[in-house]
Structure 1
């Protein structure tokens, strides 16, 4: 039994995640291209300045729509419990890979939950401010002062989002097995027991599905 793996993410969940990731990089690069003249050269990735300006808001809206798919799938797992606050107080032990002395957590630890809600707030901020400054369709409904504030808040939300994703990528690489879980969907029982003990106990009690064995030849 100890050698069997546990399903952490379904194929649909992984597809949803990677669609958001692809759209994030496309919207992020196009946004940076429009943010400052020194980065305008990035517009070459999208067919030039006019096309970048046209495509950027559409990619942003699509990113938000697909991100909502992740929200609907995972929001219940991202509510804070008592152990999460205790986990945060022992974050120094987590950073030195001493999780045996840290309170057990569910499917996501407190850091991942903070990231989830931060991403959601940033996405909402980018959506609403983006609509205000979308010249082709909506900006004519707002005054210049509102548009200027929206542009400032849009840039701020984008900055926080980019920093959050950098942390997300670093943490995924740092915790061995995390990237593989999002690529293939499965984790070992030892990984689940070490990093997400409460979730491990929950799925064990439900007799989770076994990883299918691929026959060779």
Structure 2
């Protein structure tokens, strides 16, 4: 799967577009959600056109993000199965933090940390979508008793917090590992990057 002699295609144009649609939707949801969460953060609503627009657009953007992320899940699910080497990778977290990659089990397309983030996002998005439907006043909330709506509101807020933390970790890793961001902008990585960070995937890609 080679693009140029020293480059390997990591993400296609469609996959990158899918990723950035999800990312942009997340930013809009985080800003609008935080603006509604506490009066001290209501000023964020001004970025999106004011409180009324925030309340209208937030759930619709949520549906867009869920649908876009669902496509990503279907595309990359089979690359994120945890195996015995992933368990060992996690046990060697000190080597991970110290950037001693030569001591770690050779990862495939994704390492164990990336896989954990993936499944964290899957769980969070499912819970956010389900709880969001329950508290969507204009269309669905009248179908549910107030106790369920209150519970869904708490779940929505807590899971949103977990999702924001997970995305921050995901974004930080993209900047921390030099060359990772380019994979999602240009779509390709160098042979050296692939051999260093994902040796098993590299060997499979150049066959």
Q: Would the aligned equivalents of 1:105 and 1:196 in 2 still touch at CA under 8 Å?
A: yes
Q: Which of 156, 167, 170 is equivalent to 1:168?
A: 170
Shift of 1:194: 1.0
Comparing 188-197 and 149-158, the one that deviates more: 188-197
Does residue 198 of structure 1 match 2:200?
A: yes
Instruction: Provide the aligned C-alpha RMSD in A.
Output: 1.3
Q: Would the aligned equivalents of 1:3 and 1:188 in 2 still touch at CA under 8 Å?
A: no
Unaligned runs of 5+ in 1: 206-217
Provide the C-alpha distance between the structure 1 equivalents of 2:188 and 2:82, rounded to a whole number of angstroms. 24
Aligned residues: 205
Q: Which of 96, 99, 106 is equivalent to 2:98?
A: 96
Deviations 1:161-189 (A, max 9, x none): 00000000111100000001101011111
SS in 2 for 1:165: helix
Matches for 1:42-121 after TM superposition, within 5 Å: 42-121=44-123
Unaligned runs of 5+ in 2: none
Deviations 1:137-164 (A, max 9, x none): 0000111110000000000110000000
Structure possessing the higher radius of gyration over alpha carbons: 1
Q: Which of 27, 34, 37 is equivalent to 2:36?
A: 34
Q: Which runs of 4+ in 1 moved over 2 A?
A: none
Does residue 148 of structure 1 match 2:150?
A: yes
SS in 1 for 2:189: strand
SS in 1 for 2:115: helix
Provide the C-alpha distance between the structure 1 equivalents of 2:96 and 2:206, rounded to a whole number of angstroms. 24
Shift of 1:94: 2.0
SS in 2 for 1:104: coil
Shift of 1:48: 1.3
Deviations 1:179-207 (A, max 9, x none): 011010111111111111111111122xx
